[in-house]
Amino acid sequence: MRNPVPTRRSGSGFATLRTLLPYLWPPGAANLRLRIVTAVAFLIAAKVANVYVPIFYKGAVDALGTTAGATLAIPLGMILAYGGARVLTLLFSELRDAVFARVAQHAIRVVGLQVFRHLHALALRFHLARQTGGLTRSIERGTKAIDTLLSYMLFNVLPTLFEIGLVTIILWRMFDVWFALATFVTVALYIGYTLVITEWRTKFRRQMNETDSEANTKAIDSLLNYETVKYFGNEEHEARRYDHALDRYERAAVKSQVSLSLLNIGQAAIISIGLTVVMWMAARGIAAGRMSIGDFVLVNAYLVQLYQPLNFFGFVYREIKQSLIDMDRMFELLSEDREVADRPGAPALQVHGAEVEFRHVVFGYDPRRLILQDVSFTIPAGKTVAVVGSSGAGKSTLSRLLFRFYDVNAGAILVDGQDIRDVTQASLRAAIGIVPQDTVLFNDTIYYNIAYGRPGATQAEVEEAARLAHIHDFILAMPDGYNTIVGERGLKLSGGEKQRVAIARTILKRPAILVFDEATSALDTHTEREIQANLREVSKGRTTLTIAHRLSTIVDADEIIVLDGGKIVERGRHHQLLTRNGAYAAMWKRQQASGEGEELKPYGAVVDTA
């Protein structure tokens, strides 16, 4: 069954409801549609039974007032009918909820899954600019809002309006138009007042949401950066920032509560006046002999029965409005432009030798500031090309473009002659493995983090990948072995241990193309030597792009490319570049003078300071 795809929306409540409707009436889901029809039938039956409750009550009262004890069977029948009607009202209402539950939960699941998938499909640009705390809160509120909206609108507001219509007709037919008119005007005034005041106080609810998201974002951001906060002793600074957001939330919440009190007072006044007027009219009818005591009870029972859900209507309407706001924000995420999307009917990447070519690539995160300018180079199948350059030269941008996190502004990137924009992103990324500088692990077991490279791999395959990454023995030495929890972002492991997990994960993936994005620059010298040996072992026979900081780690590359200002200024093998005495040679000399190259001399081919 295909999920409905929402279109661009205006942000109004009706537009939000139109967006939700396909999820409630999904195409091809006959079982769910049957449940909806059945639930509506139970809803109508419950309201009809509820409308008959006061009529049976009136019959019992009139019978008791006009019959002797010998004929008590007549009011007893009415009493039994009264009790039966109340039971049926409850029974049909519960059956309605039970039948509709699967429809509501299915809609919530489908929407939540679609938003989750869409977020993963959005370009890296969106995720770099996002605020994780506010984003997760929007999704959480949005999915909960669907349940709230369905519960209140379908099973409270619409049934109540239906019941109001039935009661108005009954009062008109049983008595006269003035009873029906008084009831209708009271209800209309109540609903109108509720709508006007609730619209006015919606801005306070919005402020509460915004400030709540802001406070949540600040709290999560601060806790994720716990170590940085401690390093600089800024606990009080973070507390002040958080308290400032909470203070704004407090002020918005107070305004919201005060306006709520005003709403409740007005609602109570309208209901009381309307009830008094109708009861006065019924009392006059009794005094004139046109109405019985049972009629007086009937009118009172109908109004009380109507006003109970109406008294709840203010809260219901506020929840519906809030639900529409929350759903609108969640659906806004679905309307976010993917920026990078597969072309219709795009085929999977066909990997033969895994040759990679950057052909006249031009790219900038902002079109006004280009990062790469006419960059062209080829990584032959099974060979290693290293890219070096100063910070900001565009080195890491190459790996992001190869993974197609962004599309190039001009030029093309090809794998075995296929433009990566013409193939599916899933097949492209399946062919590439990366060991980044900052390896981020899931807060799960070591086994899960290695197996993430190829979900569904056997335990033997996971352990073999760990052996090739030289981390298997370390894992077995831990008390919980492969079931050791690595902590948030892998903080329970050292830098070298995290990198080995990343290498094992990449080995398990079995990619045709490898990317090492400054994979060892953040490690100590001893650990870097060991990791570099692992990386050389892994990259044998694979097309490899190495983005390096320490030049001594790439002296044996098949070609070294020097980037400066987004352009290739030099290219060649290590000895060739040193001989030219250009930009690469200058970088080499600087690193030799600082001791970076000398530290790794045993792992370089030959150290030349010329």
Taking alpha carbons only, the member of 607, 586, 585, 590 closest to residue 598 is 607
pLDDT at 154 over 80: no
What does the alpha-carbon distance between residue 97 and residue 90 come to, in Å, rounded to a whole number? 11
Q: What is the pLDDT of residue 416?
A: 94
Contacts 24+ apart (CB under 8 A), 5-13: 5/334, 6/331, 6/334, 6/335, 7/335, 8/335, 9/328, 9/331, 9/335, 11/328, 11/332, 13/321, 13/324
Confidence at 282, pLDDT banded by 50, 70, 90: confident
Question: Which pLDDT score is estimated for 461?
Answer: 93
pLDDT band at 543 (very low <50, low <70, confident <90, very high): very high
Q: What is the mean pLDDT of the chain?
A: 82
Which of 383, 422, 344 has its CA nearest to residue 514?
383
- The C-alpha angle with vertex 469 and arms to 463 and 473, in degrees rounded to 5, equals 60
What tens digit of pLDDT does each residue of 346-396 get?
999 999 889 999 999 999 888 788 899 999 999 999 999 999 988 777 888
Residue 6 pLDDT more than 50?
Answer: no
Predicted pLDDT at 5: 46
With residue 561 as reference, give the H or E element that holds it: strand 559-564
Rounded Cα–Cα distance for residues 547 and 572 (Å): 15
Q: What is the pLDDT of residue 2?
A: 46
The whole-number average pLDDT for the span 263-274 is: 84
Per the listing, tokens 């890491």 go with 396
Query: What are the tens digits of pLDDT across the range 201-239?
Result: 777 877 888 888 888 888 888 888 888 888 888 888 889
Could you tell me which residues come within 8 angstroms of residue 287 by beta carbon, excluding any fewer than 6 positions away? Answer: none
Residue-level pLDDT at 66: 64
Report which residue type is found at 257: Q
Residue-wise pLDDT tens digits, 48-100: 888 888 888 787 777 776 655 444 445 677 888 888 988 998 999 889 888 88
Local confidence band at 522 (pLDDT 50, 70, 90 cut-offs): low
Overall pTM surpassing 0.85 (yes/no): no
- Grade residue 561 by pLDDT with cuts at 50, 70 and 90: very high
pLDDT at 435: 86
Q: At what angle do helices 293-334 and 13-24 cross, to 10 degrees?
A: 90
Q: Say what the pLDDT of residue 521 is.
A: 65
Give the number of other Cβ atoms within 10 Å of residue 332's Cβ.
15
Which tokens is 459 given?
Answer: 């335990």
Q: Which of 483-515 are b and which e, b meaning 16 or more Cβ less than 10 Å from the residue's Cβ?
A: ebebeeebeebebbbbbbbbbbbbbbbebbbbb
Instruction: For residue 272, give both structure tokens.
Output: 């009381």
Q: Which domains are present in the chain?
A: 13-334 (1.20.1560.10), 439-510 (3.40.50.300)
Q: Helix, strand or coil for residue 481? A: helix
Q: What is the pLDDT of residues 170-189, one digit of tens each?
A: 888 888 888 888 888 888 88
pLDDT of residue 220: 87
Confidence (pLDDT) at 378 = 95
**CB 525, CB 600: distance < 8 Å:** yes
Q: Give the model's pLDDT for residue 420.
A: 95
Counting residues of the chain whose pLDDT is more than 90, the rounded percentage is 21
Higher per-residue pLDDT: 204 or 568: 568
Say if residues 4 and 115 touch (Cβ distance below 8 Å): no
Kindly report the backbone phi and psi dihedral angles of residue 442, in degrees, each rounded to the nearest multiple of 5, phi listed first: -75, 150
How far, CA to CA in Å, does 570 sit from each of 73, 87, 212, 385, 577?
Answer: 107, 87, 52, 13, 8
Could you give the percent of the chain with pLDDT greater than 70? 90
More confident: 271 or 402: 402
pLDDT of residue 131: 60
pLDDT number for residue 427: 94
